Amino acid sequence: MMDLDTVTTGNRLALSRLLTEVENDTQTGRDALDRLFVRAGRAHLVGITGAPGTGKSSLVSCLAKHIRSELGMSVAVVAVDPSSPFTGGAILGDRVRMRDLAGDTGVFIRSMASRGALGGLARATAGVVQVLDAAGFDFVLIETVGAGQSEVDIARLAHTTIVIEAPGLGDDIQAIKAGILEIADILVINKADLPGAENTERALRANLDLGYTPRMLHNSTHMATANDSAQEGAQGWVPPVLKTIATQSVGMADVLSSIKAHRDYLQQTGLWKVRDQERLKAEVTHLLQTTLMQRWQRSVSQEKYEAILDQVYDREISPGAAIDILMNE
């Protein structure tokens, strides 16, 4: 059994090893997650997402530096790279870009590779984030590339989601951004010195004025009956639109103060707790599904199961009919 105290008292090698176990979903990793659970729940989880070309990594790196220098708090960065679903290698070299953070013991950087399995990346990321949280980091920044379902799942992990835009990206990218806007708590126009920054800002503000209610939509299924839902709608966190030039450290103070303001907002409205609970509920549900499936598999003969699968393969019976047969065994 792994000695978890070394992990939570700043042993980086032990931490790295544990994260690898968690990423690979080994028994050691799962046991550790289970034992670390009661120590987690204190870090501010910040998701940072945006389309390719917006300068995410620079901004994450710059933000980490600001948290260190302005707040003196510790930061872990989880760089999620969905670009390589199968090889298990992180291509973008986030570690390289973050080079100037090296040597600071209050900063820890981890690049993740995607998992092939449905939802695998989101789960592995959740595990890594939980370990870093339990290890005592004040902030965990979760950087994600691209757009789509996996982004949304990862955004669900975060207390605060920052969406980064940049001027002058193509039409297709604009469309993707429009979708991702809905998960934004804070909007950042990076590369604000490029031509078109004002157009980008105008477009973003127009979208916000059209009545987006970020995060209410996000959690609508879970929150349909919660009072907090109405509360959020009423008090309305309006995502600020900020301009930055991350490569020159311009505008980072505003980003940092918006993050703090959003944290205050979440805590005052009780939404901080609501978001945590939603996440934990989803985790319990997933674990329940896995456990039920394992139990069921032990109860049914593999032969019988495969015979019925064969009938499905030959399109003699539908998957629904197959389930009916299997369940009535």
Of residues 159-178, which lie at the interface with a second copy (CB under 8 A)?
170-173, 175-178
Of 69-77, 191-199, 251-259, 281-289, the window that binds a second copy (rule: CB under 8 A) is 281-289
- Secondary structure of 15-41 in the HEC alphabet? HHHHHHHHHCCCHHHHHHHHHHHHHCC
Nearest residue (CB) to a second copy, 104 versus 153: 153
Q: Which of residues 192-211 bind a second copy (CB under 8 A)?
A: none
Q: Which two tokens stand for residue 154?
A: 């990862």
For a second copy, which residue of 146, 196, 240, 270 counts as binding (CB under 8 A)? 146
For a second copy, which residue of 12, 24, 26, 35 counts as binding (CB under 8 A)? 35
For a second copy, which residue of 12, 119, 194, 257 counts as binding (CB under 8 A)? 119
Q: How far is the CB of 38 from a second copy (least distance, A)?
A: 5
Nearest residue (CB) to a second copy, 68 versus 222: 222
For a second copy, which residue of 24, 116, 193, 198 counts as binding (CB under 8 A)? 116
Of 5-13, 33-41, 66-74, 255-263, the window that binds a second copy (rule: CB under 8 A) is 33-41
Q: Is 276 in the site for a second copy (CB under 8 A)?
A: yes
Q: Which of residues 68-87 bind a second copy (CB under 8 A)?
A: 81-87
Per the CB < 8 A criterion, the answer to whether 167 and 54 are in contact is: no
Give me the residue label for tokens 């004002």: 198
Instruction: Report how far apart, in Å, the C-alpha atoms of 237 and of each of 193, 221, 229, 265 are.
Output: 27, 19, 12, 8
**Burial state string for 287-322 with b = 16 or more CB within 10 A and e = fewer than 16:** eeeeeeeeeeeeeeeeeeeeebeeeeeeeeeeeeeb
Reference 68, options 263, 249, 276; nearest CA is 249
The burial class, CB within 10 Å (0-12 / 13-18 / 19+), for 259 is buried
Q: How far is the CB of 71 from a second copy (least distance, A)?
A: 25
Reference 192, options 32, 14, 59; nearest CA is 59
Q: Is 249 in the site for a second copy (CB under 8 A)?
A: no
Q: How far is the CB of 120 from a second copy (least distance, A)?
A: 8
For a second copy, which residue of 25, 104, 153, 254 counts as binding (CB under 8 A)? 153
